[in-house]
Amino acid sequence: MIIGAHLSIGKGYPAAARQAARLKLDGFQYFTRNPRGGSVRTVPESEIKKFLETMKELELKANLAHLPYTVNLGSQESRLQEFATMVVREDMKRAQALGTSFVVSHPGHFGKAGLEAGLTQVAETLKIALDGVGTDTIFCLETMSGQGREIGGQLEDLAEIIRLVGDAAPIGVCLDTAHLFAAGWNMRNQAGLDDLTASIEDTIGWDRVKVMHLNDSKVPLGSRRDRHALIGQGEIGLDGIRAIVNHSQLGQLPMFLETPVDNYSQYAKEAQLVRELVR
């Protein structure tokens, strides 16, 4: 099992790696730049070198990068399209230099032109942004709760984007358990999880699924709202999380926590609880 959590890189990448090790994590997720804006600092080669050495020394297994929330891959506005293209391209290159396994992004929102136009725009943006970037780091679209005009609330959304991108770039998928639950997938038991994985195989293809955000949900099944809860303290509950981590397919994915801890040190307890649920 690989279990990580979202940490801050405010003190630099090597410091985040050391914090992950202190918390007994196997890796960590980080924002590629300011999540509510878009500013980013230049990472010196010396820091990249030190980070890679630290990861190896501490035997950390995987990292996950998350694009800022301000990226809207489905926007019809040229300014936002240009911003999204720039961020995807630059942040993928930086992630590869840092040895990051996956870069995850919310697909974005569709506008007045409708969902179909939004899906087409996501694909077009990704084809341009990922052209020639390389495949050492896998770009992943995240499953969403389906709130409002959000893209990704249905598996078919992601399947269509992947179909439209085609061979232009390899696209993976990140499953978010809280989002899936809010979108209507019953994550509480084996039968519900089997329904989900079968539907993923039929639409996206299981080979596209690369990583998981392991979160409980503050909101009820099918509520179409994005609200995370601590492990075992939400609507999915401890039995549901246990079913997920022991599932023959879901349990094999690298898992990264985004639960609403008061401080990052709490992730040690969250991760330990998850490990104790594994049979």
Q: DSSP state, 150? A: B
Active site residue 66: yes
List Cα–Cα distances, 278 to 61, 153, 186, 256, 275, in angstroms: 19, 28, 20, 15, 5
Q: Any idea which residue has 């300011």 for tokens? A: 34
Residue type, 126: L
Q: Give the integer Cα–Cα distance in Å for 246 and 258.
A: 19
Active site residue 6: no
| Confidence (pLDDT) at 38 | 84
Catalytic position from the list 6, 30, 109, 142: 142
- Of the candidates 208, 213, 235, 242, the residue annotated as catalytic is 213
Instruction: Name 261's Cβ contacts closer than 8 Å, sequence gap at least 6.
Output: 230, 267, 270
Here the tokens at position 70 are 């301000």
Instruction: Say which of 47, 90, 194, 258 is annotated catalytic.
Output: 258
**Active-site entry in 6, 33, 109, 179:** 179
Enter the pTM of the model. 0.97
Enumerate the domain spans of the chain.
3-36+43-277
Is the separation of the CB atoms in 35 and 68 below 8 Å?
yes
Fold classified for 3-36+43-277: TIM Barrel (3.20.20)
Q: Residue 19 and residue 30: Cα distance in Å, rounded?
A: 12
Q: What is the pLDDT of residue 113?
A: 87
247 is catalytic: no
Q: Which among 33, 94, 109, 228 is annotated as catalytic?
A: 228
Which of 150, 160, 176, 270 does the annotation list as catalytic? 176
Residue 176: active-site member: yes
- Specify whether 57 is catalytic: no
Q: What pLDDT does 235 receive?
A: 99
pLDDT at 39: 87
pLDDT in tens, the chain (279 residues): 999 999 999 999 999 999 999 999 999 999 999 998 888 999 999 999 999 999 999 999 999 999 999 999 999 999 999 999 999 999 999 999 999 999 999 999 998 889 999 999 999 999 999 999 988 999 999 999 999 999 999 999 999 999 999 999 999 999 999 999 999 999 999 999 999 999 999 999 999 999 999 999 999 999 999 999 999 999 999 999 999 999 999 999 999 999 999 999 999 999 999 999 999
Could you give the CA distance from residue 98 to residue 233 in angstroms, rounded to a whole number?
Answer: 34
pLDDT of the residue at 63? 96
Q: E strand or H helix at 194, and its extent?
A: helix 190-203
Query: Tokens in use for 264?
Result: 């990052």
Task: Please say if 142 is a catalytic residue.
Answer: yes
The reply to whether 225 belongs to the active site is no
Q: Which of 69, 89, 124, 225 is catalytic?
A: 69
